[in-house]
Structure 1
Amino acid sequence: MKRTLLLSALLISPLLAQDKPDFSKMKAEKIFEQLCAGCHGADLSGGQGGSLIDGEWKHGSEDADLMKSIKEGNPQLGMTPFGTVLNDGQLRMMVIYIREKEKQAKQKGMSFPKPKPGEVTKTEKADYKIEMVIDGGLKDPWALAFLPDGRKLVTEKSGRLRIIGTDGVLQPEPVKGTPAIIEHGQGGLMEVAVHPDYEKNGWIYLGFADGTREGGKVKTITAYVRGRIKDGQWVDQEQIWKADPKFYTDAGIHFGTRLVFDGKGHIYFPVGERGGRMEAQDVANAKGKIYRLHDDGRIPEDNPKFDKDPVPGVWTYGHRNPQGLAFDPRDGSLYNTEHGPRGGDELNWVQPGHNYGWPVICYGMDYDGSPISNETAHEGMDQPVTYWQPSIATCGLAFYSGDKFQEWKNDLFVGALAQQEIRRLRLVDHKVTEQEIILKNIGRVRDVRNGPDGFIYVVLNGPDNIIRLVPAK
């Protein structure tokens, strides 16, 4: 049983008094080694102070309870208060570190569905099999879209738009004449989306890293265009959204990118904050936003108003790196998933004009173990519907609206890159009431799509394949 969050005054106090280490320059792992490992063990499994990873907490299990214990200590139990040597950001960082290790330890004792072709995979609500759609021939596939005639479109990060024929065969030649893209860091050719009225207008939308590469210097940001495919050629291209050149950056991270239609003539898409952090809080800066436009790129007159003039089209702000965007078919609510830093991946209910907090509020810390913010809530900033700690690296998002899996009807499916999994979430009144991992460890999940045939399609990286989930029966 957990005795308490304990750090020995006898072991630690002389260290603080004599050596006076500079904790302000230490990362989470080093601080834990210096202040905590002597009592709780280097692996957090316990010692004089008990385990921090067994899920049992005597003085409260909430993050605020842990932070209070670390900050104020408990002299009767021999625990030193560390609020005098650690600031609030570092205290928050230590809570994140403990949570990260606690959940990693919990998962070690769990088993997850790892499907194999031809075998039945059982989950809480439905059983399924996987079928191979494309086995080889793709390199870094990013997104999948369906054409009404039975063909499919696949983007490759390097800039190629590929077609899967009605016979299910990947055509060897990519579509010619697609826009010039810059493959840089995490960016390249990313999103592909088909207009709901494609049979009438033929429009296909692409999201990609736009920019220049001159003299070894790269400047990019996410851009969106639409065009048509005729006889294997990309034609009739129109610019949908392009940032002012002053917002282009040489950063190779956080491009964001997805595009969805609301059925009322509007499109929604994100642009990541590109590592600019506080730029996400400035509505006059193009980065770290979700946009709403008419499907031809015009700015809707009923878009939200802000205290200062926003970049045209801003719908919401305070985003980091959104790579999932989907409408709930039941009520039209828009949700997004976005990458947090080390911990703090989020699912958000996206509402017009709202601020989603990055980086002022955050449930994670920086990748190197240093703090980002000591706040997880702030007036005027929305809380996530749920968040994941440790990070799962969210990518791809789809509500299931087909008829093949009645048990999954209207559930939300969340892809994950780092954890190589798909999570099924059930939402009731914008709250998560169920969550389970239905697939794990067969590749990095880049995209999850609702197929017109009622099956769930999954784009994988490493291996670079496309599979689909079909009912076991």
Structure 2
Amino acid sequence: MRIRPLAIAALAAPLVASNVWAQGATVTGDAGTTLSVAPVTDFNEPWAMTFLPDGNLLVTEKSGVLLIVSQDGEKTEVSGVPEVAYGGQGGLGDVVLHPDFSENNRIYISFAEPGEGNTRGAAVASATLVQQEDSASLEDVDVIWRQQPKVTGEGHYSHRIAFAPDGEHLFITSGERQKQTPAQDMDVNLGKIIRLNPDGSVPQDNPFQDQGELAKTFWSVGHRNMLGIAFDGQGRLWAHEMGPRGGDELNLVERGENYGWPVVSNGRNYGGSDIPDHPTRPEFEAPEAFWNPVISPAGLVIYSGDVFPEWQGDALIGGLSGRAIIHAELGEQEDGTLAAEAERFDMGARIREVEQGPDGALWALEDRAGGRLLKLMPADAD
């Protein structure tokens, strides 16, 4: 196991920014990059988005609404969304396309699912997206994965989804539901990253084959609340997760590794008590970058487009409490880590999601009621 020093991102210099964007508005990062910001439309608590082959977007709203949205803001609601447990951090979550969407029209959605006795848990379903001229629906909805067990509370579902580059496996982030200790418990799937076949069956080459049936679904363990997961151009899996009071992490996720929560963290408990830092327990995998104070990361894309050639292969992260978009450079750093913050763009609002558009533009969703869809381009783009 590699033992790495830790990277602490420098605090961004204060920026003058407005969260009332208009056509022609710009935002300048603390390293001097200036972006144009164009608002497209707004939503009621948007959570995730993905692009369809025709250039339209699928956008989720926490209350249980799935929308098809054109790049000029026209919306069509999709019927047939499963019942969601809406409240706190719970509701409708992520949305991604099956790698063969052009042939099968299948999509995957995650959501908080109600249970018995005031309990809830994350779930992932696949469904066929049927589009008519003026309507759309989900059909043949099949829940392929659930958090076990369902528990009380309305936090730390995580339930972000990503397909491996070869399309053969589906990865799901499963938060520890603010219960902490389940992250190290091999008998529950909370606080884990899950690896499945696209139909929900379990790959026989997953790493934990001798620790019980449920553990056979685990790819990595010891996680807290992971609201971003993405593969880079080298096929490496990255995920970020919220720390407690400090210690937000960006991790290179490796097969069968343990990332230490709640035994270690570079933050402190909310009550102020100390948690041992990662270097004190080298048997746990340390983050490639971490943030003190926190940025509350949400949404993650590894950029591969041509609009921002200097960003190719790097991570773009939304910040909730950070009210920013963070550009993190991925690659060997002077301290031996593989990631470091390169630039921060003060957006003046909580950023819930970031995505790369078909033309290479960067798209972002603001959080909460009235959260807007924003398109970002280089300020000097024609």
Q: Deviations over 1:211-252 (max 9, x none)?
A: 23x6xx4211111001022241210112221244xx110121
The alignment partner of 2:118 has SS state of: strand
Give the count of matched residue pairs.
Answer: 361
1:372 to partner: Cα distance: 4.0
1:120 to partner: Cα distance: 3.7
CA–CA distance in 1 between the matches of 2:331 and 2:32? 17
CA–CA distance in 1 between the matches of 2:71 and 2:226? 32
* Root-mean-square deviation over aligned CA pairs: 2.4
Contact 2:25/2:38 (<8 A) preserved: no
Whether 1:453 and 2:359 are equivalent positions in the alignment is yes
1:395 to partner: Cα distance: 0.7
Contact 2:266/2:275 (<8 A) preserved: no
1:327 to partner: Cα distance: 0.6
Structure 2: which amino acid aligns with 1:256?
S
Report the counterpart of residue 317 of structure 1 in structure 2: 221
Residues 279, 273 of structure 1: alpha-carbon distance in 2 compared, 3 angstrom cutoff? same
Report the counterpart of residue 353 of structure 1 in structure 2: 256
The alignment partner of 1:168 has SS state of: coil
CA–CA distance in 1 between the matches of 2:154 and 2:26? 40
The alignment partner of 1:254 has SS state of: coil
Q: Deviations over 1:416-454 (max 9, x none)?
A: 101111111111148346523432142111011111121
Contact 2:175/2:223 (<8 A) preserved: yes
CA–CA distance in 2 between the matches of 1:228 and 1:180? 17
Whether 1:184 and 2:87 are equivalent positions in the alignment is yes
Contact 2:110/2:160 (<8 A) preserved: yes
* Aligned pairs (5 A) from 1:231-270: 231=132, 232-244=136-148, 247-264=149-166, 265-270=168-173
Contact 1:114/1:442 (<8 A) preserved: yes
Report the counterpart of residue 20 of structure 1 in structure 2: none
1:113 to partner: Cα distance: 6.4
Whether 1:416 and 2:319 are equivalent positions in the alignment is yes
1:457 to partner: Cα distance: 0.7
Residues 121, 444 of structure 1: alpha-carbon distance in 2 compared, 3 angstrom cutoff? closer
CA–CA distance in 1 between the matches of 2:263 and 2:78? 43
TM-score of the aligned structures, taking structure 2 as reference length: 0.88
Report the counterpart of residue 377 of structure 2 in structure 1: 470
Residues 307, 372 of structure 1: alpha-carbon distance in 2 compared, 3 angstrom cutoff? farther
CA–CA distance in 2 between the matches of 1:328 and 1:374? 27
1:324 to partner: Cα distance: 0.6
* Aligned pairs (5 A) from 1:6-405: 110-112=13-15, 114=17, 116-117=21-22, 118-123=24-29, 124=31, 126-134=33-41, 136=42, 138-165=43-70, 167-171=72-76, 174-212=77-115, 217-230=117-130, 231=132, 232-244=136-148, 247-264=149-166, 265-305=168-208, 308-309=211-212, 311=214, 312-329=216-233, 331-373=234-276, 376-405=279-308
Q: Deviations over 1:340-383 (max 9, x none)?
A: 10001100110011000000111111223233446653142100
1:206 to partner: Cα distance: 0.3
Structure 2: which amino acid aligns with 1:456?
L
Identity %: 35
Contact 2:147/2:174 (<8 A) preserved: no
The alignment partner of 1:218 has SS state of: coil
TM-score of the aligned structures, taking structure 1 as reference length: 0.72
The alignment partner of 1:347 has SS state of: strand
Contact 2:180/2:262 (<8 A) preserved: yes
Residues 377, 201 of structure 1: alpha-carbon distance in 2 compared, 3 angstrom cutoff? farther
Higher relative contact order (CA 8 A, sep 6+): 2
1:313 to partner: Cα distance: 1.2
Residues 446, 309 of structure 1: alpha-carbon distance in 2 compared, 3 angstrom cutoff? same
CA–CA distance in 1 between the matches of 2:27 and 2:85? 40
Segments of structure 1 that go 5 or more residues without pairing to the other structure are: 1-61, 64-98
The alignment partner of 1:407 has SS state of: helix
Segments of structure 2 that go 5 or more residues without pairing to the other structure are: none
CA–CA distance in 1 between the matches of 2:71 and 2:330? 35
Choose between structure 1 and 2: higher strand proportion: 2
CA–CA distance in 1 between the matches of 2:306 and 2:146? 38
The alignment partner of 2:181 has SS state of: helix
Residues 129, 166 of structure 1: alpha-carbon distance in 2 compared, 3 angstrom cutoff? closer
Structure 1: which amino acid aligns with 2:157?
F
Structure 1: which amino acid aligns with 2:258?
N
Structure 1 or 2, whichever has the larger Rg, is 1
Contact 1:149/1:166 (<8 A) preserved: no
Choose between structure 1 and 2: higher helix proportion: 1
Contact 1:395/1:445 (<8 A) preserved: yes
